[in-house]
Amino acid sequence: MSLDYKIIVGLEIHVQLATKTKMFCGCELAYGHAPNTRVCPVCIGMPGALPVLNKAAVEFGILTGLALNCDIARFTKWDRKSYYYPDLPKNYQISQYDLPITENGYLDILLDDGTTKKIRIRRAHLEEDAGKNVHTFGNYSGVDLNRSCTPLLEIVTEPDMNSPAEVRLAAQELQRIVRYLGVSEADMQKGHMRFEPNVNLHITRGGQVFKTPITEVKNLNSFRAIERSIAYEVNRQLDEFLTTGKTMQMGNKSTYGWDDVNQQTVLQREKEEAHDYRYFPDPDLVPVVVSDQWLEEIKARLCELPLAIQKRFVGDYGLSDYDAQVLTGEKATGVLFDAAVRCGGDPKRVCNLLTQTGLKLANERQTTVDALGVSPEHLAVLAKMTDEGQISATSAAVIFEEMTRSGGDPAQIAEAKNLIQKSDTGEIEALVEQVLAENAQAVQDAKDNPKKAKKALGFLTGQVIQKSKGQANPKLVSQVLNQRLASLP
């Protein structure tokens, strides 16, 4: 009996917002401090402590919603989501239930085949984070509440993704967007973005469609974990269906964790439904009313988004999709590239300097390309010098690195380091004559042996450049050498 299946995945993404203080109190929002040193009566849930809303968090939520093409709620409220867990001292989380701040949007992702796919956004709502349980004390656990009350934006997509790769692409695009907007650092190693895919299969067998129970894989913090956990879940659910015949109608939604060591998902618990959380409006917080003026002020902070910039780099500058994606991985890198091209640098040459030399140096120094300190004007000059044959590509990398140290002018650095290529035709002709006289066999191969001609020509070119101590212009050497060989009997 034939069996076919379709992968169905929706994503829940928790984005930590880059505000200076927490969601409902004035505690500093900081990472890496000693446990329970960034807390107050509000965020540790002391009786009678009243929350005060962080306006910047609301604005960040609206700004993200606008970037995701969402409808912005003009009236929204706060709800208590009740559940017990040791790191939730109030026994409820302040969230949004039926009136989220944004809803009904979409996200475009660029697939590997060059086509664009639309991923619908169901909603994006604001809420506070819980604390953190610490299990490193031996036979007991501790609770660190520094993270309690951290502002989160939870983005919920529709189940529009049909492969692990599509989910990874959506996650990467969301990371780029929130970074471009400046609403989150989106550092997954610090928990700034946590992904929770909801996975099931639609299996066709004997003309019928069977839907496996949905599983939610919790708290993934790397793109590799996203892809691998979904791939594992697909195989696990398929095996379970073939063994038991279990479908969505026969089992509740369940949550799984990802065991990165053993590369498998692990059952945690049966998933609660909305009514289990006993949502009700928070009586300590007033609703938020978004006026026309306030919304327009937030709209004015929108920037050109990464996928649009990536497509512009391909269309306007002739870059490959890969190079354009690398350049737009960090907003500042794309801005630097764009500015250097506007200063007269050739797009492909500037791209090569940034992606091959700039990114290498940035990775070595554990920083970003823009933080290396190379100005767009100097980058454009360096690109022009390379294209005009004043310096070699190898020398350009040396000059780029020196520019990051001194901030100096590339032409002055090239002069100081004796990296300017010689373009004196007479001098190169003399070197060519000398090399031809010293390498009779290579000359004969270059002229008369088609199988060895290319190798011989490369050898002769290298000898000329070597005699010039690396300063001869390779293009001019090749031109003079070919002319001279053609003139030989």
Domain regions of the chain by residue span: 3-294, 306-416, 425-487
- Position 453 scores a pLDDT of 77
DSSP string, 379-397: HHHHHHHHHTTSS-HHHHH
- Position 443 scores a pLDDT of 77
Provide the β-strand partners of residue 199: 9, 215
Residue 275 has pLDDT above 70, yes or no: no
User: Is 119 strand, coil or helix?
Assistant: strand
Task: Compute the distance between CA of residue 82 and CA of residue 279 in angstroms, rounded to an integer.
Answer: 7
Task: Between 206 and 48, name the one with better pLDDT.
Answer: 48
pTM for this predicted structure: 0.86
Please report which confidence band the pLDDT of residue 272 belongs to, taking 50, 70 and 90 as the band edges. low
Residue 348 in contact with residue 318, Cβ under 8 Å?
A: yes
Residue 198 in contact with residue 11, Cβ under 8 Å?
A: yes
pLDDT tens digits, residue range 403-461? 999 988 999 999 898 888 756 566 677 777 887 888 878 777 777 777 877 888 788 87
User: Is 73 strand, coil or helix?
Assistant: coil
pLDDT tens digits, residue range 77-102? 999 999 888 999 999 999 999 999 99
High-pLDDT (> 90) share of the chain, %: 73
Q: Which of 131-135, 382-386, 439-443, 464-468 has the lowest mean pLDDT?
A: 464-468
Residue 79 in contact with residue 280, Cβ under 8 Å?
A: yes
Q: For the purposes of burial, counting CB atoms within 10 Å of the CB of 81, is it exposed (0-12), middle (13-18) or buried (19 or more)?
A: buried
Q: Which of 249-253, 301-305, 387-391 has the lowest mean pLDDT?
A: 249-253
Residue 148 has pLDDT above 60, yes or no: yes
Amino acid at residue number 114: G
- Rounded mean pLDDT, 318-324: 95
- Rounded mean pLDDT, 38-65: 96
Angle at 380 between CA 377 and CA 384, to 5 degrees: 140
Residue 191 has pLDDT above 50, yes or no: yes
- Position 90 scores a pLDDT of 93
User: Is 439 strand, coil or helix?
Assistant: coil
- Position 130 scores a pLDDT of 95
Of 414, 410, 460, give the one whose Cα is nearest residue 439.
Answer: 460
**In the chain, what is the straight-line distance between the N-terminal and C-terminal CA atoms, in Å?**
76
Task: Compute the distance between CA of residue 281 and CA of residue 287 in angstroms, rounded to an integer.
Answer: 10
What per-residue string of b and e applies to 269-288 under the rule 16 or more CB within 10 Å gives b? eeeeeeeebebeebeebeeb
390, two tokens: 């004043």
Q: Which of 13-17, 286-290, 434-438 has the lowest mean pLDDT?
A: 434-438
Task: Compute the distance between CA of residue 316 and CA of residue 270 in angstroms, rounded to an integer.
Answer: 51
User: What DSSP character marks residue 97?
Assistant: S
Task: Compute the distance between CA of residue 188 and CA of residue 175 in angstroms, rounded to an integer.
Answer: 9
Angle at 215 between CA 101 and CA 89, to 5 degrees: 55
Q: Which CATH number is associated with domain 425-487?
A: 1.10.10.410
Please report which confidence band the pLDDT of residue 474 belongs to, taking 50, 70 and 90 as the band edges. confident
- Rounded mean pLDDT, 135-139: 88
- Position 1 scores a pLDDT of 46
- Position 16 scores a pLDDT of 98
Please report which confidence band the pLDDT of residue 283 belongs to, taking 50, 70 and 90 as the band edges. very high
383, two tokens: 């690109």
- In the chain, count H helices and then E strands: 16, 17
343, two tokens: 């200063």
pLDDT tens digits, residue range 207-235? 889 999 999 999 999 999 999 999 999 99
Write down the mean pLDDT value for the chain: 91
- Position 452 scores a pLDDT of 79
User: What DSSP character marks residue 216?
Assistant: E
Provide the β-strand partners of residue 121: 105, 157
Residue 347 has pLDDT above 50, yes or no: yes
Amino acid at residue number 382: L
DSSP string, 167-186: HHHHHHHHHHHHHHHTS---
- Position 206 scores a pLDDT of 82
- Rounded mean pLDDT, 163-173: 97
Residue 204 in contact with residue 5, Cβ under 8 Å?
A: yes
Tokens 């190379």, located at residue = 374
State the DSSP H helix or E strand holding residue 75, giving kind and residue range, or none if neither.
strand 75-76
- Position 20 scores a pLDDT of 97
